Structure 1
Amino acid sequence: MAKILIVDDAKFMRMTLTNILQKGGHEVVGEAENGRRGVELYKELQPELVTMDITMPEMTGIESVKQIKAYDPNAKIIMCSAMGQQKLVVEAIESGAKDFIVKPFEESRVLEAISRVLEK
């Protein structure tokens, strides 16, 4: 079981992920609606893993990944992307994200990605 922070500007997506993660036995320790808040909550809550949306207001997921990795080089972050955002996903991985999941979320794929990243 991992303590997970969800960063996504869409309330529906945060709820969907929370349901999947809780079913998978994980604990959602916080939710942020933009990248800036995600960075703040990461520092405050010290989660074991972060799911990070790529496209958000105020601060993008990629910028948030860079800031979180600068603060904690060992941070484990999984990007959440819509179809057709491959270029952004590549940039996010280069910035330090460990994996990505594609919307709409498939429960098994989400839990698989989380298990894989936690094991690293």
Structure 2
Amino acid sequence: MPKILIVDDAKFMRVKLSNILKGANYEVVAEAENGREAVQLYHKYKPDLVTMDITMPEMNGITALREIIGEDPNAKIIMCSAMGQQKMIVESIEFGAKDFILKPFDDNRILEAIKRVLD
């Protein structure tokens, strides 16, 4: 069962994602509410995949992505962002993100992206 780390500063988004993933038989090993926490939890749990929000306090998703990829070039990270953040999405793909999903989340799109990145 693939292990996933969910990173989003909004608790309700983490809950929504967690429910979608658990319903599809993924194991949510941890949740982080900012990039700094994401980096620490990545080290601790070594998840198979990370869903990473872009806009967060303390450390944003792109900085966290760069830190994680810098230490583990094989890390699989999918960025999550609201509409209108195209520049940041492009930037995150350049820094090594494997895909991105737009908010508000579409359950099928999330599961398709995760399946594609994990395969």
In the alignment, the residues of structure 2 paired with residue 11 and residue 43 of structure 1 have an alpha-carbon distance, to the nearest angstrom, of 22
**TM-score, structure 1 length as denominator?**
0.98
SS across alignment from 2:39: helix
1:20-59 counterparts in 2 under 5 A? 20-59=20-59
- The match for 1:3 is 3
- The match for 2:115 is 115
AA at the equivalent of 1:55: T
- The match for 1:13 is 13
The percentage of counterpart residues that share the same residue type is: 68
Q: After TM superposition, which residue ranges in structure 1, 4 or more long, deviate above 4 angstroms?
A: none
Aligned-pair CA distance for 1:94: 0.6
Aligned-pair CA distance for 1:79: 0.2
**TM-score, structure 2 length as denominator?**
0.99
AA at the equivalent of 1:72: D
SS across alignment from 1:51: strand
In the alignment, the residues of structure 2 paired with residue 42 and residue 79 of structure 1 have an alpha-carbon distance, to the nearest angstrom, of 15
5+ residue gaps, structure 2, are none
In the alignment, the residues of structure 2 paired with residue 61 and residue 88 of structure 1 have an alpha-carbon distance, to the nearest angstrom, of 10
In the alignment, the residues of structure 2 paired with residue 2 and residue 87 of structure 1 have an alpha-carbon distance, to the nearest angstrom, of 30
2:112 maps to 1:103? no
In the alignment, the residues of structure 2 paired with residue 53 and residue 66 of structure 1 have an alpha-carbon distance, to the nearest angstrom, of 13
Aligned-pair CA distance for 1:95: 0.8
Kindly provide the CA deviation profile for residues 38-68 of structure 1, in whole angstroms up to 9, marking residues without a partner as x: 0000000000000000000000100000000
Aligned-pair CA distance for 1:97: 0.4
Kindly provide the CA deviation profile for residues 71-119 of structure 1, in whole angstroms up to 9, marking residues without a partner as x: 1010000000001111100001111100000001011000000000001
AA at the equivalent of 1:65: L
Aligned-pair CA distance for 1:2: 1.1
In the alignment, the residues of structure 2 paired with residue 29 and residue 71 of structure 1 have an alpha-carbon distance, to the nearest angstrom, of 20
